[in-house]
Amino acid sequence: MTPKVVVGITGATGAVYAVRLLKRLKAAGREIHLVVSPAGVLNVHHELGLDRKALEALADVAYNPADVGAAIASGSFATEAMVVVPCSMKSLASIAHGFSDNLLSRAADVTLKERRRLVLMVRETPFNLAHLRNMTAVTEMGAVVFPPLPAFYHRPTTIEEIVEDTVERVLSLLGVNGARPKSWNGL
Ligand SMILES: Cc1cc2nc3c(=O)[nH]c(=O)nc-3n(C[C@H](O)[C@H](O)[C@H](O)COP(=O)(O)O)c2cc1C
């Protein structure tokens, strides 16, 4: 059976990471289940000029974030992992408190309760204490907090290289075979 990955996109800056990740998951043979918040749609359009339809065309199944009765709202729907890319502080807060106020945060809640891998690509700067406490809470619950912070020791020269490096590391964390994270082999 094709492994299923849930991808959530929220209204933080960094839409380019989301699109790159969707394309790589597809290339890696994953079945993509996508849920994009309204603020996520706003941001993807602002940053990349893509509308909801174009974004959802990159997934196998796309859900309405209000559809809390969808398959990914239940732990009985077998998925491999979930990633929220980028993850706003609002969605982080919802996940950290098990609030499940929409399909995206419910799917994350399910991923945690089923002890599956959840990667949150949180994005804000600077952080206030609520942000930091919520990151601690989700880490205690088993999620991986992965802010898209570039590394420069591979000397990237384009934004694309920076994005690719981050996305490959996330794919590796999601357990995707064929992920190509750059490794540091010493000076
Ligand atoms: C252009 C733009 C950029 C934003 N960037 C961020 C961000 O980097 N991090 C963040 O937490 N919120 C950011 N926000 C605010 C969120 O979009 C807002 O809190 C929203 O309610 C999040 O809802 P969601 O988590 O359901 O997508 C941004 C909003 C806009 C319009």
CA–CA gap between residue 187 and residue 52 (Å, rounded): 45
pTM score over 0.85: yes
> Which pLDDT score is estimated for 184?
87
pLDDT in tens, 121-166: 999 999 999 999 999 999 999 999 999 999 999 999 999 999 999 9
Output the 3-class SS for 135-162. Answer: HHHHHHCCCEECCCCCCCCCCCCCHHHH
CA of 12 to the centre of ligand 1 (A): 4
Please report, for residues 23, 28, 111, 165, the alpha-carbon distance to residue 179 in angstroms, rounded to integers and kept in the order given: 12, 8, 21, 10
Residue 10 beta carbon below 6 angstroms from any ligand 1 atom: yes
| CA 10 to ligand 1: nearest atom | 27
pLDDT in tens, 19-78: 999 999 999 999 999 999 999 999 999 999 999 999 999 999 999 999 999 999 999 999
Residues 18 and 104: beta-carbon distance below 8 Å: no
> Which pLDDT score is estimated for 1?
85
Structure tokens at 164: 């690719």
3-state secondary structure of 33: strand
Residue 12 beta carbon below 6 angstroms from any ligand 1 atom: yes
CB proximity list for 158: less than 8 A, separation 6 or greater: none
Residue 43 beta carbon below 6 angstroms from any ligand 1 atom: yes
CA of 90 to the centre of ligand 1 (A): 8
CATH 3.40.50.1950 assigned to 4-173: yes
CA–CA gap between residue 127 and residue 73 (Å, rounded): 30
CA–CA gap between residue 85 and residue 59 (Å, rounded): 14
Can you give the residue ranges of every domain in the chain?
A: 4-173
Residue 13 beta carbon below 6 angstroms from any ligand 1 atom: yes
CA of 163 to the centre of ligand 1 (A): 19
CA of 101 to the centre of ligand 1 (A): 16
